[in-house]
Amino acid sequence: MKSEQTLVIIKPDGVQRSLMGEIMKRIERTGLKFVAIKFLVPEADQCWKHYNKDEEWFMKKGTRIVEDRKTHGMPIEKEVIEYGKDIIKSNVDFFTSGPVLAFVIEGNQSVAIVKKLVGETEPATSDIGTIRGDLTVDSYSLSSLDNRAVRNLVHCSDSPEEAQREIPLWFNKEDIVSYRLLQEQILYDVNLDGILE
């Protein structure tokens, strides 16, 4: 069993809607474990480092916004790349608008399991049964027309590599607690017994 860590952040909309317990309960029921938890109001610089986007990303997202604006008969007032950068600016503004609950989850394939549980980034296209699909109804189109961040309740790392980059932005090594859950002890003992036989 290969254990990995992933970062999860309940965003200001999740905190304001009192969904922290519901979101944590859904994650906890998977058998993954919480190894660090922090309640804070993020700093803008921390959020810019967290998002870590490049020009290709800005162009791709900016193109989507320009298409949304054209579809709705709205003027195109700036370069495509600037619309893309506006997404991160609005996300940073949103992230710093109030408290968030950040935590590190650990366990076998924790990144993939949490991503599946959280759902697609856009709530409107997220499956029923996921956190975003069940608990919010926002869309990229609506958020771009309103010139704001999409309200999707939760951030989770996209890959194990991304988790390794993100976690130190939010937690010091000393913040992360190492311990074993009962089910891990049972699995360890079973595996060890199998090896010894």
Would you please indicate which residues are annotated as catalytic (active-site) residues? 155
d(CA 74, CA 145): 9
The residue type at 73: G
Exposure class string for 118-129: b at 16+ Cβ within 10 A, else e? bbebbbbebeee
Exposure class string for 75-85: b at 16+ Cβ within 10 A, else e? eeeeebbebbb
d(CA 156, CA 11): 10
The residue type at 13: D
